[in-house]
Amino acid sequence: MGDVKVFGKFDEKFTTAIEQFAENIAKDEDVGASFAASVDGEMVIDVWGGHLDTERTMPWQEDTLVNVWSSTKTVSFLCALVLADRGLLDLEAPVSDYWPEFAANGKEGVLVWHFLDHAAGLSGLDVSVSQDDQYDWEKMTSLLAAQKPWWEPGKAVGYHALTQGYLIGELVRRTTGKTLGEFTREEIAGPLGADFHIGAPDDVLPRICDLIIAPETTSNNDQLDDDPESIARKTFSSPRAQAEACNTLAWRKAEIPAANGQGNARSLVRLQTPLACDGSAFGVDLVSKKTAAAIMKERISGTDLVLKMPVVFGLGFALNRGPLPLTPNPNSCFWAGWGGSNVVIDQDARVVTAYAMNRMFPSLIGDTRSFLIRQKFYESLAA
């Protein structure tokens, strides 16, 4: 592993994956990072290394947390799945059954699962909102309730980059009386022993490290389309995702359940392992076997109107389809965060892998750093 020291624990069977993790840091592709994996409900890798700063003066610690951007979405999916499993949320029902005001402007036919699968036609807003507005839950949900869909709901997919969290989160609030962050902490992360926070409390703030943002990563508004009237351009115009905001106190304390989760690879793996293991892991029966299996059933597919790439969605998670599969197994799903974090769930192998880091790459949905680590992991798993 050269001069890079990797901390934590791992089954020696997966040494080549750990060597790849260290190589990423040695090559300066990562500054600080964490990688974790579970197999059949047991943690087989839980490692971290590198530093919190580009000067390499502060080492990444066991309990370091970092903003994982859209990997946060996988936690909001869990909230919806748990509520559905408990009979509190019907994924096939109109959203307006729970949120009557939402029916405005032609949204009577929007179903709950449309929220999970970026199919509600609400990937952005016609009105411009500021960064501070994004911290105002009532304002954002009221604007979404009033918004007219940009396409016929349920007929196409368009990445709801920031709006998805408010939409799912409002359903959580309407059905439980708790915010999505509270529900996550009390009903999911707490029982599973996962150090993950949406709306970080004061005692957690000192452990959150800054993301290291390259100039080309400061805004994703211009990445996808030059046409100012395109859905892609409008999506990233309002609400506008600004990378530098993630290092502010206001961002960390707010609840933006599509983007501002603070965690690490270990916490992401602990959260998602039940879905790989028939609904139960770490002594917690999170959801039923039927609900866990449902995430792999295709719901909607096509070329994403925002990402401009083919996608296939089950329930929230993207399914492992396409020319570059993330695992060798068909019953796998994933999602990733802006800059490079990701979570992969493999029900065939009963595996979950996750990666979180502080150096942001410009890519919206992953890059080669975690891909290479995971590739080595699977080679060792099959050996």
Please write the tens of the pLDDT for every residue from 228-271: 789 999 999 999 989 999 999 999 999 999 999 999 999 999 99
Q: What is the pLDDT of residue 118?
A: 98
- Cα separation of 39 and 59, whole Å? 28
The one-letter code for the residue type at 382 is A
- Cα separation of 80 and 92, whole Å? 12
The residue with tokens 């499993």 is 85
The ranges of the chain with pLDDT < 50 are 221-222
Of 84, 240, 104, 57, the closest CA to residue 161 belongs to: 240
Of 201, 199, 202, 208, the closest CA to residue 173 belongs to: 199
Q: What is the pLDDT of residue 362?
A: 84
The tokens of 354 are what?
Answer: 């996750």
- Cα separation of 166 and 180, whole Å? 9
Q: Which residues contact 241 (CB under 8 A, 6 or more apart)?
A: 161, 162, 219, 220, 221, 259, 338
Question: Each residue of 328-359: pLDDT tens digit?
Answer: 999 999 999 999 999 999 999 999 999 999 99
Q: What is the pLDDT of residue 262?
A: 98
Q: What is the pLDDT of residue 325?
A: 87
Q: What is the pLDDT of residue 222?
A: 47
102's enclosing H/E stretch is none
3-state SS assignment for residue 137 = helix
Q: What is the pLDDT of residue 221?
A: 47
Kindly state the DSSP code that residue 228 receives in the 8-state scheme: T
